[in-house]
Structure 1
Amino acid sequence: MKINFRVVAGSLAATLALASCAKEPVDLPFGTVQQMMANEVQPTADIYWGAVGSASELVDGQPVFREWQPETDAEWQAVAASAAKLRDLANTMGSPAYAEGRDAGWTDFTEGMAEAATRAEQAAQSKDADAVFEAGGTLYAVCSACHQAFPPEAGIPGEPVDMTPDQ
């Protein structure tokens, strides 16, 4: 059996030429936006949102009101760190890799999230429970508005939607 090496070499060259014309893979360090939300943003936001609060419940038929907030420096630092991580995640979501295929509103929302997270971090660093609660509300409002404009289940055309958190 004779192999025509010119044909093989030509086919290989054509294949490599086509591959080099293909779009470079996009660097998505946290996977798709939906994966980033499920695996990074939501758990981090839950730390911040759960740090300060109050609840009323019935205990033996009597209403019991309780409030909570961080007590130790380490607990306050964990809350501040969660806000700082949210800011970093917002900046990542605003990067060209994650903004590709989305309109300019996407960048506005990621900038708004970063600003709200910065204020949230400052509130935690000041160990002011009321300010943490208020900053958490602002952060929640920004996130909710973004989710209305960019429904999580919609993604962007051609982007796989996987909202399952990593285990």
Structure 2
Amino acid sequence: MAKQSAGILAFKVVDGSVRVLLVHPGGPFWARKDLGAWSIPKGEYEDPADPLESALRELAEETSLEVAAADCVPLGSVKQKGGKVVAAWAVAADFDPARLRSNTFEIEWPPRSGTRREFPEVDRAEWFDLATARQKLVPAQAEFVDRLVAHLSAG
């Protein structure tokens, strides 16, 4: 079975323009990657966990931003290149990226060195306009931006 992940696409309107909050993965593998490397705050879950609850938990763990489930709008799911299925919800929110607080993970670094180091899951967060967000996001997740635009246009 494919891995499952759930996340939140936070958005806000600034001077009539929609902005979305994206996060950059922490750790040495992602340190020099930018375009196509950013993501919505998300994390894996396993059945029978509730995907929305998992998405809200991951948002709080990776950014410290907390939002109400009742305010979230489903954006469906996408399948990423590696096969992982990502479900997402959109929510209007405001967040100061300078207040980013992320949980951490530990890996052996450098590889085969015997030394274990701790890294943040997310090393930065930033608000992007829609065109820039589509370039920064992992390619499959750019679909969530399009679905957000469709939702806002219909609303």
| TM-score by shorter chain over 0.5 | no
Structure with greater strand share of residues: 2
TM-score between both structures, scaled by the size of structure 1: 0.20
TM-score between both structures, scaled by the size of structure 2: 0.21
RCO higher in structure (CA 8 A, sep ≥6): 2
Structure with greater helix share of residues: 1
